[in-house]
A and B are shown apart, each in its own frame.
Chain A
Amino acid sequence: MKEYKLENSANYMLLEIPAQSENESFVRVVVAAFAARLDPTLEEINELKTAVSEAVTNGILHAYDYGKGVIRIFVSVDNQHLSVEVHDFGKGIADIARAREPLYTEKPELERSGMGFTIMENFMDDLLVESKPGQGTVVKMLKIFGKTAEINH
């Protein structure tokens, strides 16, 4: 789960933060800044920031259950394709299909809505979740920039 396949990436960045909620905003801004080279529309940037926020927040909120841990964010770019991987090394997800269902949340008492994965799916072009209970979770997302421009052309 720690393979980033760096040799295949035209360009990339790797970021590690402790799993603390105050870092959520920072990560969104960094990933958005990295994506600036793709000449994104405001809508694309908003979608990217929200999806990244969902994945990072899940790592902070669910993976370590308030214990200590790190989140690693790997972003790579290849032409108009931006790939974002969010890794944690926490408790993992036993039933990924159930976790991805809209409205499923294990923390309703914290006013979570269970919409994180649904938002990632809607705002990105592809979403892959890999997890091993006790070892951690990787969320891989792909976003293709400039799609609407191509269609209009």
Chain B
Amino acid sequence: MQVQLIRRKKNLIVRLKGELDHHTADIFRHSVEKELKKKGNQNLIINVTGLTFMDSSGIGVILGRYKQVKDKGGQVAICGLDKHHQRILQLGGLLNIIPVFGNESQALINLK
């Protein structure tokens, strides 16, 4: 899996590409964790458009980042979800707490 990080003022955009599973979840976790520690109050936008696979490891690692961002008063958004990945995150209860947008710019407009 490839992880691309982009800064837009107080928002951190993370673009995931490839397969998100138990083997690769740590790549996502560590790169985002490190970047979030650099500054205080900020939002996280997770773009999953490029994901070709996800299992329950995705639920755990996204929830972990949600808690991390929330603790510092930031917001989290997801964009680019396809139907299958949406079902997985829905089962994990994530879609009740994290808003979903079609693309990055819609997420950026809606986050404070």
List A residues at the B interface (Cβ < 8 Å): 21-22, 24-25, 28, 43, 46-47, 49-50, 53-54, 57, 60-61, 102, 110-113, 115-116, 118-119, 122
Q: Which of B66-95 contact A (CB under 8 A)?
A: 83-84, 87-88, 91-92
Known: A28-B53, A43-B84, A50-B55. A111 touches B22 (CB 8 A): no
A17 CB to closest chain B CB (Å) equals: 13
List B residues at the A interface (Cβ < 8 Å): 19, 21-23, 25, 29, 53-57, 59-61, 63-64, 83-84, 87-88, 91-92
B73 CB to closest chain A CB (Å) equals: 21
Across the interface, do A119 and B56 meet the contact criterion of CB distance under 8 Å?
yes
Given known contacts A25-B21, A57-B56, A115-B56, what 6 new A-B pairs fall within 8 Å (CB)?
Answer: A24-B23, A43-B83, A111-B29, A113-B60, A116-B56, A119-B91
In the bound assembly, the distance between CA atoms of A21 and B57 in angstroms comes to: 12
- Secondary structure class of chain B's binding surface, majority of residues: helix
Q: Which residues of A contact B25 (CB under 8 A)?
A: 111
Q: What is the number of contacts between chain A and chain B, taking CB atoms within 8 Å?
A: 64
Q: Which residues of B contact A60 (CB under 8 A)?
A: 22
> A50 is contacted by which of B60, B61, B88, B92 (Cβ under 8 Å)?
B88
